[in-house]
């Protein structure tokens, strides 16, 4: 069993007809399978936790359970069993949701993603409760149908209480738009310009997602850094070629010490080439140094922007942003423009933090011992230590 130890099944023979029957192992081992159901379900469990290759799944099973399963076995088992496994999982999730009777918190995340399937592009729209993490609505449509009007209709229907449609005692429920609304306080979205108008028409407060705000900065920063790396690589290549030329010219004058005479045209030409190449290398070194400083500056800006979203208090977040904003004239132009845009959206970002990240924060208590042996109890509010102030050159 599981290719670790053999098992022997009893075979029975009917005395009347001569037909033989082997002891079935239903629920333990599938027919024509060398591995138990428990082991094969591990493959599906790994896939539900992390989308990794079949080769890595086989390696994990070999390392943790000492099972030498081939990657093709993992693939075939998922292909044959995944739909049945996912349906059973979903039934369990629905049962838990019904038992816990989770109510909508009123704070929701909305986002869309674009996916491809068989040369066809789709848009997947999702509305998720921010506190319970329950998916309120999820819809996949062709990409060409994805418009701001469709987003408005999707949110309008999603924010209605549609539970009557799954109630068998209500055979003829009202039209969705005539049903009562779910609890709705705010919706968190990315920075698309269409969302403020849509949510204002729906009567819902709008806040911005910090992750999307960070990724907006990372996208153009990484693009600039790749460009800097390419320039730096080309200068390094030219510097290497010039160094080879210098060494080649030096070999020509080897064994001829001293300054050459004016009549020695070959040596004078060789020295002029060496001087010219050295000047070029000097310029390349300056350019490389400048590019390294630019790359480092982009890294420092990314770190400082991330720290704004990692602080423990709202006042610390404001202070870190103001410190960076006051030095924007020393920063690259694209970072400076990003900070200007950040300032416009700061209230929508920080107000969401106020409602979620900071509303339940309690001050930590720390016990301090003073010099005369007495114990002093003080409240130390959530705060960060003063770090090095960022001063770009």
Examine the domain organization and report whether 275 and 314 are in the same domain. Answer: yes
CA proximity to 223, closest of 391, 393, 340, 338 = 338
At which of 166, 182, 208 does a domain end? Answer: 208
| pLDDT at residue 236, as a whole number | 94
Q: Six-digit token pair at 362? A: 């309690």
Q: How far is CA 106 from CA 20, 137, 202, in A?
A: 64, 14, 14
Tell me the whole-structure pTM to 2 decimals: 0.62
Number of domains in the chain: 3
**Rounded-to-integer distance, Cα 206 and Cα 190, Å:** 10
Q: Return the SS3 of 366.
A: strand
Specify the pLDDT at position 83. 84
Check residue 249 and give its pLDDT: 84
Distance CA 232, CA 284 (A): 9
Other CB atoms within a 10 A radius of the CB of residue 363 amount to: 11
Same domain, 120 and 189: yes
How many alpha carbons lie under 13 Å from residue 134 in its C-beta half-sphere? 16
Neighbours of 299 (CB within 10 A): 12
In a domain, 213, yes or no: no
- Tell me, what DSSP letter sits at residue 390? P
What pLDDT is recorded for position 301? 93
| Terminal Cα distance for the chain, rounded | 68
Q: Per-residue DSSP letters for 7-72?
A: ----EEE-TTT--EEEPP-TTTB-TT-SSBHHHHHHHHHHHHH----HHHHHHHHHHHH-----HH
**pLDDT, position 70:** 84
3: left (phi over 0), alpha (psi -120 to 50) or beta: left
Residues 91 and 132 in one domain: no
Instruction: Please check whether residue 212 is in contact with residue 190, taking contact to mean a CB–CB distance below 8 angstroms.
Output: yes
pLDDT in the model for residue 263: 74
Q: Where are the alpha helices (DSSP H) in the chain?
A: 37-49, 54-65, 71-100, 148-158, 195-202, 210-252, 265-309, 314-325, 333-356
Same domain as 94, residue 145:
no
Q: Tens of pLDDT along 322-374? A: 999 999 999 999 999 999 999 988 888 877 666 655 444 444 333 333 333 33
User: CA-CA distance, 277 to 268, in Å (whole number)?
Assistant: 14
Last residue of a domain, one of 184, 208, 232: 208
Whether residues 250 and 337 share a domain: the answer is: yes
Confirm whether 92 is domain-assigned.
Answer: yes
Nearest to residue 294, comparing CAs of 230, 237, 224, 220? 224
Closest C-alpha to 298, from 336, 271, 268: 336
| Per-residue model confidence (pLDDT) at position 313 | 81
Q: Any residues with CB less than 8 A from the CB of 205 and at least 6 apart, and which?
A: 185, 186, 187, 199
Strand boundaries in 105-168, DSSP class E: 107-117, 120-129, 135-142
Residue 162 tokens, joined: 């549609």
Assigned domain for 4 exists: no
Q: Are residues 194 and 332 in the same domain?
A: no
**What pLDDT shows up at residue 4?**
67
Q: What is the pLDDT of residues 291-322, one digit of tens each?
A: 999 999 999 999 999 888 888 788 888 899 99
pLDDT value of residue 133: 84
Q: Which of 163, 179, 208 is the last residue of a domain?
A: 208
Task: Examine the domain organization and report whether 186 and 291 are in the same domain.
Answer: no
For residues 163 and 180, the answer to whether their CB atoms sit within 8 Å is no
Residue 39 burial (CB < 10 Å; 0-12/13-18/19+)? Answer: buried
Exposed e or buried b per residue across 53-75, where buried means at least 16 C-beta atoms within 10 angstroms of its C-beta: ebeebbebbeeeeebebeeebbb
Q: Which residues of the chain have pLDDT under 50?
A: 358-393
Token pair, residue 99, equals: 């038992």
Asked if the structure places residue 254 within a domain, the reply is yes
Host domain of residue 63: 11-100
């Amino acid at each position: 069993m599981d290719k670790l130890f053999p098992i022997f099944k009893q075979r029975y023979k009917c005395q009347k007809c001569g037909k033989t029957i082997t002891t079935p192992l239903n629920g333990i081992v599938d027919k024509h399978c060398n591995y138990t159901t428990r082991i094969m379900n591990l493959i599906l469990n790994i896939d539900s936790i992390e989308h990794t290759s079949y080769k890595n799944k086989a390696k994990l099973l070999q390392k943790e359970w000492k099972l030498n399963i081939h990657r093709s076995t993992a693939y075939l088992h998922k292909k044959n069993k995944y739909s049945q496994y996912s349906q059973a999982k979903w039934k369990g999730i629905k049962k838990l949701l019904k038992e816990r009777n989770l109510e909508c918190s009123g704070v929701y995340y909305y986002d869309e993603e674009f996916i491809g399937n068989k040369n066809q592009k789709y848009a997947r729209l999702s509305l998720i409760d921010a506190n319970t993490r329950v998916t309120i609505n999820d819809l996949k449509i062709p990409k060409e149908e994805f418009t701001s009007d469709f987003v408005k209709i999707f949110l309008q229907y999603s924010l209605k209480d549609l539970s009557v449609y799954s109630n068998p005692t209500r055979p003829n429920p009202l039209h969705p738009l005539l049903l009562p609304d779910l609890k709705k306080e705010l919706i968190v979205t990315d920075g698309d310009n269409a969302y403020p108008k849509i949510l204002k028409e729906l009567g819902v407060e709008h806040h911005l997602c910090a992750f999307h705000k960070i990724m907006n900065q990372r996208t153009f920063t990484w693009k600039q850094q790749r460009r800097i790396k390419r320039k730096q690589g080309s200068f390094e290549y030219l510097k290497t070629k010039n160094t080879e030329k210098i060494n080649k010219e030096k070999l020509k004058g080897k064994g001829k010490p001293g300054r050459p005479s004016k009549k020695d045209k070959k040596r004078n030409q060789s020295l002029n080439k060496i001087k010219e190449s050295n000047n070029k290398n000097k310029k390349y070194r300056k350019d490389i140094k400048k590019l390294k400083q630019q790359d480092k500056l982009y890294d420092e800006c990314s770190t400082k922007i991330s720290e704004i979203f990692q602080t423990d208090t709202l006042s610390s977040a404001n202070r870190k942003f103001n410190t960076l904003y006051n030095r924007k004239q020393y920063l690259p132009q694209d970072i400076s423009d990003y900070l200007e845009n950040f300032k416009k959206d700061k209230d929508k970002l920080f107000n969401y933090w106020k409602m979620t990240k900071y509303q339940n924060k309690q001050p930590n208590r720390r016990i301090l011992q003073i010099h005369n042996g007495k114990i002093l109890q003080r409240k130390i509010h959530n705060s960060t230590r003063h770090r090095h102030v960022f001063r770009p050159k």
